[in-house]
Structure 1
C-alpha cells in the first residue's frame, strides 16, 4: 500500500472515497520525516503526508498491530502539520520583503486549515459496547458534549478497521467498500472484479502485481510498458 499511495492516480481517488468528497483534484507530497519546533523535539515518520488542492493536510498511517495508546499517537501526529502551518505562514510573510529591507514583526492570526489523520488498521479498536460489529469506518472531530456542536473542523481523525469489513464482492456498494475489499483480498485476486472496473482500481491492481515481481521480472515489465506507451504516443501523434 505504501508504494501505491505514493502515486497520485491512486492516492487521490482513495482520499475522495474516505472523505466522501470529489473536491480533491491534486495533491502535493510532503516530507514524511518531521521535527517539532525545536531540535530536542521527537522526530516522527509518517507513512504518507500530503497537502491537497482544496487546502487540507493529510497524514495516512497503516498500522498492523494494536498499540495501547494509538489514538493518542494520532493526536500527537496531528500537531506537526499545525506547527508547519505556522512556519509556512511566517515564511510566506517574510517572502514579501527583500534581504536588505527592514521587516516588521510577524504577527500570526492563528488561521488554520484542516488536518486529517487517516489510519488503516489491521486490528479491531476498542469502542463503546453499542458499537456495531460491522462498522469499520469511524470519524472523530471536536464537538460540544451535550448538543454535539462542532467546536472546530480543523482536527479530524478517521479510522478504518479492516477486520470489521466482511462484505463479499456482490454486496459492494460505494467506492469505500471497493477499497476495503481490495485491501483485504488483493493477494488472492487474479484480476480486477467486473463491478470494480475503474481506472484507479486497475492502477492499484497493477501496482500490487509489480510489487510482487522478482527484480528482473519487474524491470522487464516496466520496459515492456514503456514500449507500449511509446507506441501509443506515436499513433496518437500520427
Structure 2
C-alpha cells in the first residue's frame, strides 16, 4: 500500500475536512486537544474560507474548520514551511474567526470560544521539548486564567515527536505518528489499525483510490514543498556563512564584538534576499515578502532587476 502525504494541503483536507471525515476529525481533535477524552461528541465541518468583510482587510485560508455541538469553533491548519511571522498569522486567524461571529448590532454574549489547532513540520518553541503546547490568556503574576478565556492556541510540532511504532501509547501518539509517517508506510501499523477512525484515515489516504491526475497533482505539490524547503535551507546556510565572514572582516576594523554583530545583521538581510531571489519564479511578491520579511518594495525591486537582466541578456 502507498499512502498520500497528510502534510500536504490537498491530502490534509481530504482526510480531515471531507464529507466522510466527521468521525475522523472528532477522534483527531479529542486526541490532540482533550488528551484522548471523548469531550467532543459531535461537530459540523464547515467551509474554512474566511473572506474579508471589510475593504482592504487581509484574506486568509484555513485547512479545516469545524463547529462543535456547543458552538465552539475549531480551526485546524497544517503548516510545512516556517514562513516569516507565522506565529502572528496563527493569532490573526484565531482573532479574526472570533470577531467575525457577530453581525452588526449583535451582543458580545453571543461570541463562542475559538480553538486554533496548528500542526507544524518545523520547531516553533526552542525553549520547550514538548511536542504539544497550549496557550491561553493568564494573569502574569498569579497565573490565573482570564474569565472569558475564549481564544485557545494549540500547537503540535512534528519534529519533536520521536516515538517509534512500538512506543505508541496514547491516542495522540497514534494520530501524530500517522501525520508524520503515513507517507513512508506500506501497511497500517497493528497498534493503530484497531482504532476505527485511524483505520478510515489510512483508507482515505490510500493512493490506490485516487485517479492518475490526482496522484500527479499530489506529487507536484509535494515536490514543490521539498523544493521550497531546500531553497530556503540552502540560501539560509549560504547567507549565514556570508554574514559570519563579513562580521569577522568588520571586526578587524571596528572591534571584534561590534563587527560580528553588524555582520550577522547584514547576513540576515542577505539571507532574506537570497531566499527571495530563489522564490521569484514560484511565488507572488506578497507571499515572498511574508516568507522572507523583506518589504514589498524590496521584492518588487528584485523582480525588476531580474527582468532587466533577462532583457539585457536577450538584447546581447
TM-score range, shorter chain: 0.7 to 0.9
Query: Structure 1 residue 13 and structure 2 residue 23: aligned?
Result: no
TM-score, normalised by the number of residues in structure 2: 0.58
Q: Who is 2:121 aligned against? A: 122
Q: Over the residues paired in the alignment, what is the CA RMSD in angstroms?
A: 2.2
Change (3 A) 1:216 1:57: closer
Query: Structure 1 residue 138 and structure 2 residue 133: aligned?
Result: yes
Bigger helix fraction: 2
Structure exhibiting the larger radius of gyration computed from Cα positions: 2
Distance 1:109 1:209 in 2: 45
Secondary structure at the residue paired with 1:158? strand
TM-score, normalised by the number of residues in structure 1: 0.76
Distance 1:157 1:76 in 2: 11
Distance 2:81 2:213 in 1: 32
Q: Who is 2:172 aligned against? A: 176
Q: Who is 2:186 aligned against? A: 190
Change (3 A) 1:74 1:211: farther
Q: Who is 1:44 aligned against? A: 60
- 1:188-227 equivalences under 5 Å are 188-196=184-192, 197-210=194-207, 213-215=210-212
Distance 2:155 2:55 in 1: 31
Distance 1:4 1:107 in 2: 35
CA offset digits 1:54-106 (Å, max 9, x no partner) = 3210111111011231111111101222223212xx6xxxxxxxxxxxxxxx4
Query: Structure 1 residue 55 and structure 2 residue 52: aligned?
Result: no
Change (3 A) 1:140 1:216: closer
Q: Who is 1:83 aligned against? A: 99
